Amino acid sequence: MRAARRVFWTSWGRIQKCDLSTGRVEDVVRGLVDPTGLVFDEREDGRLFWTDAKAGKVQCAALDGTRVCDVATGLDEPFGLVLGPTHLFWTDRRRGAIQSCCLRTGAVRDVITGLCAPEGIGNAHSVVRSRLRVAANPVRAAESSTRPLSVQELMKRSASTLREMQQQERQEAGVGI
């Protein structure tokens, strides 16, 4: 069955799906605390990733609900979630941060800090392809400013830190520098 013919969602301690051709709704994963963000990874055999805000973790499972595992634990309040080509990104409302996890190594790090209770998160296909990441340092520097930074200013300030993060990503992925 193709993923495009199914819809997945989080609901009161579980993840459910509906087969669009039959209208059949079923539980995929049960026994969760408070799943919120949900993304579908269609690479390989396919996986579901979700945030669990009250449990303080990001988890994943096979599309049939088997092989549930923790991706990141000990988080404050993970909420929104988005998948990039090499990393999973989520918002943490309580910490005011966007964090990431390298899908290959499992390394978790802050991407942006100093935000005010971020919830939803998304990405643009072209941005993901270029592996563009905004670094934490320009945001911290902006906290002392009396005016918000424009995207252009933020990108300008983050150029050197962005290069450092890309270098770190290549090292995590085992790609030569």
- Which of the two residues, 2 and 35, has the higher pLDDT score? 35
Q: What is the token pair recorded at 104?
A: 């290959």
- What confidence score (pLDDT) does residue 34 get? 92
- What confidence score (pLDDT) does residue 13 get? 93
Question: Is pLDDT above 90 for 177?
Answer: no
- CB 130, CB 159: distance < 8 Å: no
- Which of the two residues, 117 and 163, has the higher pLDDT score? 117
At 166, the pLDDT band (50, 70, 90 cuts) reads low
What is the rounded distance in angstroms from the CA atom of residue 24 to the CA atom of residue 47? 20
Question: Is pLDDT above 70 for 148?
Answer: no
- Percent of all residues in the chain with a pLDDT value above 70, rounded to a whole number: 67
- CB 142, CB 115: distance < 8 Å: no
- What confidence score (pLDDT) does residue 66 get? 94
Q: List, in sequence order, every beta strand (DSSP E) within the chain.
A: 6-11, 14-19, 24-29, 35-41, 47-52, 57-62, 69-72, 78-83, 87-92, 97-102, 108-112
At 73, the pLDDT band (50, 70, 90 cuts) reads very high
pLDDT in tens, 83-104: 988 899 999 999 999 999 998 8
Burial of 158-170, coded b for 16+ CB within 10 Å and e otherwise, reads beeebeebbeebe
- What confidence score (pLDDT) does residue 77 get? 94
Question: Is pLDDT above 70 for 131?
Answer: no
Q: Does 3-123 carry CATH code 2.120.10.30?
A: yes
Domain ranges of the chain: 3-123, 133-177
